[in-house]
Structure 1
């Protein structure tokens, strides 16, 4: 069986009914749904089975549902005999990577997700009440350095480069009126498209600094372990070496940009070194798309559904 490097998606990958095929296929996944629902106080099966896209867009629901889908895919792959050489997650997905890497168990994970989501949502609402509507948008056709420099030169208040997704895709975040101004500036620099994202706050920007201290204090109350497997952080693209560094990175990432391009470079080298396959381990195709744009030699498979996992297993056995 192939050894995998798991990539876990972040907010924006959510969709009604995701992971329900894994729920139907596996008692272990059903037990995970029950645990996550108990810890969070939300009926996550009902949310995914009956909830609307608008309900899933709310920060708390999004973070719990996306994490549950990712952990379900990892659990199902493990159940069917796949092993993992390394884990990495985009933004929110970093927490799934920590669970996959053995840094924290699922009960701690969903407790952590619940707290993180609530703090981020509260912080976004506080800012919105004072400063106005907030959001995020993907900039297609420019790299991170170009976007960052253009925004600095334009001096648009309340707008930041928040995600370094790939060499041709960057996310900006902040006040919606500032995003509108930024759109004009970046299109003048050569941006091909500007796409609003399905998230409810300016994550990974200084707007989230008010949530960092209480989240860091909460993290110190939790039991983290040193990694059992390699975990590559999306905060800086480096290996998480121990439990304390894991806590520091989780607190830091709320208000710091996601450096996914750096993570992908590291992961691509690891894949070649360990002769491992790369898999988007969760719902959707966002990360496999970014991986393809990075021109990595080893492709990234989508292994977030029961059909995809079984088709891959049959391919290997044939």
Structure 2
């Protein structure tokens, strides 16, 4: 069984998608549609912008979504199951027919801007913790009682990202170093994604999701919120809303897909980050990229 997996923020690169635009009329139309939906020329920024241009909040998430979805459409993928890392969950929901390209892009744009506003309202941070068991990291976060800090991304065994207030992340970092973490690396992100500090963004995205047409999926989506396969439209919506303030359970999602019969993980989008994580979760797993 083929599991198609879709990357999240951080996978962008200058020139992304230009090859797709140049080789296909269908891709050209989708890029033009994206420019129209967003109200600015994102294709030009993707093809010709600098790394800093691509880091703009209004650009990063839509750019990765556009690249991933166009790649999936050009390759005419037929997934048996899908999953996406954080933002990638929206790409996965276009790939299995739940969302249209346009509606998915509108939600991703709304999500990016709402997250940016939440970050500006509450200066906050994220840090990657390397070399400790998940349970040790979870316990360390609980030891910080006067600040917000929570596990945010269960990426693979020995790599967990924490998220919270600047002081909360700093305090947890010191505790984790004392517990034997190999490294605690501050991440170059705008703020505390997948933490309670994203509550204002969750509320805003909830309204947009509830007003968007969701269709019956062609295959289950393994969602970040609970790492369980979902085919029920209402459940998919609720899990997508909850995702912003809850951790990304990527390790658990991959393990569940393997348990449910996944024999190959195909990354669809820019970069190869997820393939690396899958191999760290199960070194015997077969991984590849979508080619067009």
1:291 aligns with 278
* More displaced stretch, 42-51 vs 178-187: 178-187
1:237 to 227, 232, 236: 227
5+ residue gaps, structure 2, are none
> Residue 107 in 1 paired to residue 94 in 2?
no
CA positional deviation for 1:24: 1.9
CA positional deviation for 1:253: 0.5
> Residue 280 in 1 paired to residue 267 in 2?
yes
Instruction: Give TM-score scaled by structure 1 length.
Output: 0.86
2:35 aligns with 37
CA deviation vs aligned residue, 1:12-70 (integer Å, no higher than 9, x gap): 11121122222222222222211111111121111112222223223221110111111
5+ residue gaps, structure 1, are 129-133, 304-308, 311-318
2:119 aligns with 124
Q: Calculate the aligned-residue CA RMSD, in Å.
A: 1.8
Between Structure 1 and Structure 2, how many residues are aligned? 292
1:199 aligns with 189
Partner SS, residue 9 of structure 2: coil
Q: Is the 8 A contact 2:144 2:168 kept in 1?
A: no
> Residue 141 in 1 paired to residue 131 in 2?
yes
Q: Is the 8 A contact 1:14 1:62 kept in 2?
A: yes
Q: Is the 8 A contact 2:131 2:181 kept in 1?
A: yes
1:76 to 64, 70, 74: 74
Q: Is the 8 A contact 2:278 2:285 kept in 1?
A: no
* More displaced stretch, 152-161 vs 254-263: 152-161
> Residue 173 in 1 paired to residue 163 in 2?
yes
1:93 to 88, 95, 98: 88
CA distance in 2, matches of 1:37, 1:145: 44
CA distance in 2, matches of 1:232, 1:51: 33
CA 1:154–1:211: 2 relative to 1, 3 Å: closer
Q: Is the 8 A contact 1:58 1:199 kept in 2?
A: no
1:186 aligns with 176
